[in-house]
A = this chain, B = another copy of it.
Amino acid sequence: MDVRKIVLVVCDGMGDRPVEDFGGKTPLEHANTPNMDLLAREGSTGVVDIIAPGVTPGSDTAHLSLLGYDAREIYTGRGPFEAAGAGLEVRPGDVAFRCNFATLEDGVIIDRRAGRIREGTEELAGVLDGMEIEDVKVLFKAGVEHRAALVLRGEGLSQDITDADPHETGRPVLEVKPLKPGDTKAEKTARILNTFIERSHEMLDNHDVNVARREKGLPPANIILPRGPGMVPHIPRLEDRTGLRAAGVVGVTLIRGICWLTGMTLIEDRRFTGGRDTDMMAKARATVEALETHDFVLVNIKAPDLAGHDGQPREKAEIIERIDEAVGYIYRHMPEDTILAVTADHSTPCGFMEHAGDPVPLVIYGRGHRRDRSQAFGETECSSGGLGRIRGKDLFHILYNMAGRAEKFGA
């Protein structure tokens, strides 16, 4: 049997809507994308409802779906993926949170991001990491700028608690409470979290890093505000589920967390920044290399989403043109039987500046596989493509079938 490898390129937030300045074309349609257009001519296109029609996906639920998982079943919140992506070795049963370093003065939060602190957070995090409260162990790690991740590990914890973050300045930190009174697990988790926040202030307020910041007139990073709690779900490894040796070529923390929690090999490089300045050709080369030892490679490129959130269609089109070059490199250098798919995890229309539930364009190329009549890669062309309109979690099965790996159901 003819067993092949698979590359899935996810252009974060690439889906868009018509832009007036582009004569009604989308950024993808306006961009000059000779390589993705070639894939459309030699392969088939379609559109994907990542979760379901009209449902707006997050990047985390979207990637789970694209990997063939049922996000509605396993997703408990962003915390576990952020924590895993930040490098905390989360385990099923842990409760994980996203956190900010913030500034507390006279009992109120005066800066939710501690002046977007850039240096010293690792030292501050080191003070908190390993703390024990009752029988619960605290894992804490700094992320980019003011961001951090927190994990509580112990028996009888719950994610069903209220938020500590007041989400605006000039207000005190909120007391964490169970969502339902009488829920003993939530009561315990709330009590521990309140203690953690209180101690974080005690331990950080006069830390050298903050003494120095005050001297420079910068707001001290003297309290931790956790949010977005989620119990770490049990997620079967992608390889155990499918037999595919899988690798992720990713930069952004959240998607790193997805790859880590699905048991994929993480391929990292300081040039994969997760920002606009990411080195796309380096990602393309890493993808082709990864194919030597892996059966499935996921590539995530975050930059189009950033331009979408900022409402910058011209920048988005330029980013897409750079992605097109990287896709061309992969197409020309991958083993010739590889199945190559390009899609997005969600739409981030520049005119909307947020994730939207519009379906995303998809192109799949595989030598010897069916072609349709598509002539280019874009939202309009894909909407009448031969793959039709599919769901995110079906895409993985379609690629798996094209790779000659699907088992027969029945005889």
A368 neighbours in B (Cβ, 8 Å): 17-18, 351
Bound-complex Cα distance A58 to B401 (A): 14
- Cβ of B53 and Cβ of A408 under 8 Å apart? no
Pick from B1, B72, B380, B388: contact of A370, CB below 8 A.
Answer: B380
**Residue A404 at the chain B interface, CB threshold 8 Å:** yes
A384-B386, A389-B388, A398-B357 given; A55·B369 CB < 8 A: no
Is A408 a contact partner of B58 (Cβ separation < 8 A)? yes
Residues B53 and A394 in contact, CB atoms below 8 Å apart: yes
Contact B394 A78 (CB under 8 A): no
Does any Cβ of B come within 8 Å of A397's Cβ? Answer: yes
Q: Please determine whether A55 and B406 come into contact, CB atoms closer than 8 angstroms.
A: yes
| B352/A2 in contact, CB under 8 A | yes
Cα–Cα distance between A265 and B54 once the two chains are bound (Å): 25
Q: What 1/0 flags go to A372-410 for Cβ under 8 Å of B?
A: 110000011001111111110011111111101011111
Of A55, A72, A254, A391, most B-chain CB atoms within 10 Å? A55
Q: A341-383 vs B: 1/0 string, CB under 8 Å?
A: 0000000000110111110000000001111110000011001
A59-67, A86-94, A322-330: which one contacts chain B? Answer: A59-67
Is there an interface contact between A47 and B388, defined as CB atoms closer than 8 Å?
yes
Question: Is B398 a contact of A54 with CB atoms below 8 Å?
Answer: yes
Given contact pairs A357-B398, A389-B390, A411-B59, A406 touches B352 in the complex (Cβ within 8 A): no
Interchain nearest-CB distance for A408 vs B (Å): 5
B54 touches A394 (CB 8 A): yes
Q: Closest residue of chain B to A78, judged by CB? A: B411
Q: How far is the CB of A389 from chain B (nearest CB, A)?
A: 3
Nearest neighbor of A408 in chain B, beta-carbon distance: B56
Given contact pairs A384-B384, A386-B380, A411-B254, A406 touches B56 in the complex (Cβ within 8 A):
yes
Q: Verify B59–A394 contact, CB threshold 8 A.
A: no
Evaluate contact between B398 and A60: CB separation under 8 angstroms.
Answer: no
Task: Given A389-B389, A390-B53, A410-B61, answer yes or no on A17-B369 (Cβ-Cβ < 8 Å).
Answer: yes
Q: List the B side residues contacting A404 at CB < 8 Å.
A: 352, 356
Q: How far is the CA of A389 from the CA of B387 in the complex (A)?
A: 8
Chain B residues in 8 Å Cβ range of A78 = 410-411
- In the assembly, what is the distance between CA of A357 and CA of B339, in Å? 15
In chain A between 71 and 98, which residues have their CB closer than 8 angstroms to a CB of chain B?
Answer: 71-72, 75, 77-78
A383: B residues at CB distance < 8 A? 44, 370, 372, 386-388
- A64: nearest chain-B partner, CB-CB: B410
Quick check: B397 and A55 within 8 Å, CB to CB?
Answer: yes
Give every chain B residue within 8 A of A72 (Cβ-Cβ): 409
CB-CB under 8 A for A397 and B53, given A58-B410, A372-B384: yes
Give 22 CB contacts A-B under 8 Å. A2-B352, A17-B368, A53-B398, A54-B402, A55-B397, A56-B401, A56-B406, A56-B409, A57-B410, A58-B408, A58-B409, A77-B411, A78-B411, A228-B411, A354-B408, A357-B401, A358-B370, A370-B379, A373-B380, A380-B386, A384-B386, A388-B388
Give the top 7 A-B pairs by smallest Cβ distance, nearest first: A58-B410, A54-B397, A61-B410, A383-B386, A388-B389, A357-B401, A78-B411
